[in-house]
Amino acid sequence: MNSAEIARMVGTIIVLGFCFVLSAGLYAGLYTAGRMFRKTWLIWVSSLFALGQFLAAVGMVMTGYLDPFWRYLVAASALAYLAIPPAMWRVVIAFHRSEERPTSREREAERTRTEP
C-alpha cells in the first residue's frame, strides 16, 4: 500500500468519523430541545441527523479499512447512539417526577406538623 492510498484511507475514516460524531451530537441536542420545548419539527430534524449518523457508521463499516473488531464496535455504537436520547429523556422525566412526589417520610412529617 503506497502513501497515497494510506492518506486516502485515513482521510476517509477521519471524515466519516467526524460526520458520525457531529451527527450524533446534533441528533441528541435537537431531540432534547424538541422534547423540552415541545416542538415536533425539532424532533423530526433530529431524526435526519440520526439517519446521517447511521449512514456515516455504515460508510465506515463498508469501506473495508477497519478490522472486524472496529467494524463491530462502530456498528454497535451506532445502534446504541440511536437509542440513547429517547431512553435518557425517559430516565430524566421519571427522575424528576419522583422528585415531585413526596416520600412517605415527608408525608408523615407534614401530617404531624398540621395535627393539633
Instruction: Compute the mean pLDDT over every residue in the chain, rounded to the nearest whole number.
Output: 91
Residues 6+ apart with CB under 8 A from 58: 78
Query: Residue 61 belongs to what H/E stretch?
Result: helix 40-62
Whether residue 78 has pLDDT greater than 80 = yes
Report how far residue 33's alpha carbon sits from residue 17's, in angstroms, rounded to the nearest whole number.
24
Burial class (CB in 10 A: 0-12, 13-18, 19+), 85: buried
In this structure, how many other beta carbons lie within 10 angstroms of the beta carbon of residue 56?
22
Q: What pLDDT shows up at residue 116? A: 57
Query: Residue 57 belongs to what H/E stretch?
Result: helix 40-62
Q: What pLDDT shows up at residue 114? A: 64
More confident residue, 70 or 114: 70
Q: What pLDDT shows up at residue 113? A: 67
pTM of the model: 0.80
Give how far Cα 107 sits from Cα of 21, 53, 60, 111, Å.
46, 47, 55, 6
Share of the chain above pLDDT 90, in %: 78
User: What would the grid cell of residue 94 be?
Assistant: 421519571
The predicted model gives 63-92 an average pLDDT of 96
Report how far residue 51's alpha carbon sits from residue 63's, in angstroms, rounded to the nearest whole number.
18
Whether residue 68 has pLDDT greater than 60 = yes
Query: Residue 67 belongs to what H/E stretch?
Result: none
Q: What pLDDT shows up at residue 57? A: 98
Whether residue 34 has pLDDT greater than 90 = yes
Q: What pLDDT shows up at residue 73? A: 97
